[in-house]
Structure 1
């Protein structure tokens, strides 16, 4: 095997969120329609590395994946003094919009998974006109909690290993072992209490029941794709949510679980390629 350099480039952007500057790490590749990718709870943008390196997608999209504050290479803000981290709907929405504004992205596509899929729905409710299209992976308006979050930030347990153990069953069995291991490795490296703080949004603050009916897909197309093996956001959860949204596109992905872009990138590509192709075709048709 010969050495090679992957095409994505990593940089930092300083973004005003809530009146304070945050140093946010992001990676990008390609040119064309901006495609902003949101990672899952407790992890970071490394989940998107296969999509970032996809030469065919990069011909039509400027693919961008960033680490939320407290995640990956994005540190907490300078003013943080150790208080418990909790992600809220308002803060999450503001972070995404501020990031897009800082990079001067014109009508970007936003694709998020898990908590990223949930916040995509909120973007569709409140800010649809700012985006070209929205893609929710493993997305629904609400899921009943099936886990005990008190284990996720305790001094007497290894937080990262507990987080990885919690989500390990959400990966479909058909995924390559190396990809499965890599997906869980990201969870093992998460900061103390970060996964728990993200789940505050997912379990409590981000309940969108009764609001998704306000989504207008004529303003911004909405695509929802969920893995058949996901028992956190089940296919039934996604279908229930989509039934309340006129014009939403729904796909149930075979042989995939809760982390499609990282647990089995080749299988995920089979499903996301036609979605991205439709966005490109629409962009060409409208000039």
Structure 2
């Protein structure tokens, strides 16, 4: 590869933005929507001309390449890279749960730590329960809450059902809600709190609607009635997440990297992306069917959500350009949410991209729920 001034006549594609847009991108802490070149494309600040598929094949590399031009505070990005002085065993316990879903046997993996009020954690699309590793190790939380994070079927260490090789994975509202309820009942949880992020943040709304009497409270991270597809949907339309001529999991990581706040520690950011790089083929795409289509709540159903029966707390990162703070604010007003806060310095994956910053916002919510009895 070579670098030269001017446009190359044989370039596969060109990235075009105004000088003002590039200046904003180059700042150590850019404004929302300028945190990566993919974010700039989604927000309409940058235009891709030429072979969009070729651009999609190299999303993660291009995001890294351009981000390397930005001045960053190394002490901040490396602060969480230091390990413990002595070897330690974490208090997290992992187990497998065998149960039937829709008449088919499933083997579901879950991790837990702590005691007290059950807190069931739902991961994002295409990822798994490892996103909640910091909560599971937070003694300030596990002293009062039994934190439980499980991998949806087909995700992480949970197996797909027998015969999966003959079908296409697509997550639906009914399947998602039924799975969560089956796990909660199999574990014999009484009045649990449910917390979910992204698709999980949408699922807590459906769970509160259908099973509000069962849950003590719901916490929606990056919750909205629907997702903002962005100004340029060509990469999504080309299906880069699951096609034979694209590395789907690198594309998955590249497509979500733009949702992470630019101030998130590098180690936490890359572990979050690593989860996406390890997903099964077509699983992220199948989850997005729920996120963009089947789980869309712009259908009047939310009129039946009673936040007095099931208190609903909403927390959204300021750098999320998918479930934006504006969309969550609309949701909070629509359902009369119990509480709503925009989390500064956080993006779409608050619990994994910057756990220390997320903790500042989560603890008051958990204390409020625990004190309510």
Which TM-score band (shorter chain)?
over 0.9
2:317 corresponds to:
227
Q: What's the Cα RMSD here?
A: 0.9
1:178 aligns with 2:267: yes
Deviation of residue 247 (structure 1)?
A: 4.1
Match of 1:267 among 357, 360, 363: 357
Question: Aligned equivalents of 1:246 and 1:144: distance in 2?
Answer: 22
Deviations 1:67-107 (A, max 9, x none): 00000000100132342100000000000000000000001
Q: TM-score when scaled to structure 1?
A: 0.97
Gaps (5+ residues) in structure 1?
Answer: none
Q: After the TM superposition, which residues 18-37 of structure 1 pair with which residues of structure 2 at under 5 Å, given as runs?
A: 18-37=102-121
1:191 corresponds to:
280
**Counterpart contact for 2:228–2:323, Cα < 8 Å:** no
1:134 corresponds to:
218
Higher Rg of the two aligned structures: 2
2:138 corresponds to:
54
Question: Aligned equivalents of 1:222 and 1:79: distance in 2?
Answer: 38
1:200 corresponds to:
289
1:113 corresponds to:
197
SS in 1 for 2:175: helix
Match of 1:240 among 330, 345, 357: 330
1:252 corresponds to:
342
1:70 corresponds to:
154
**Counterpart contact for 2:313–2:337, Cα < 8 Å:** no
Gaps (5+ residues) in structure 2?
Answer: 1-84
Q: Could you tell which deviates more after superposition, 146-155 or 214-223? A: 146-155
SS in 1 for 2:213: helix
**Counterpart contact for 1:183–1:262, Cα < 8 Å:** yes
Q: TM-score when scaled to structure 2?
A: 0.75
SS in 2 for 1:43: coil
**Counterpart contact for 1:38–1:66, Cα < 8 Å:** yes
**Counterpart contact for 1:212–1:241, Cα < 8 Å:** no
**Counterpart contact for 2:318–2:347, Cα < 8 Å:** yes
- Count, aligned residues: 283
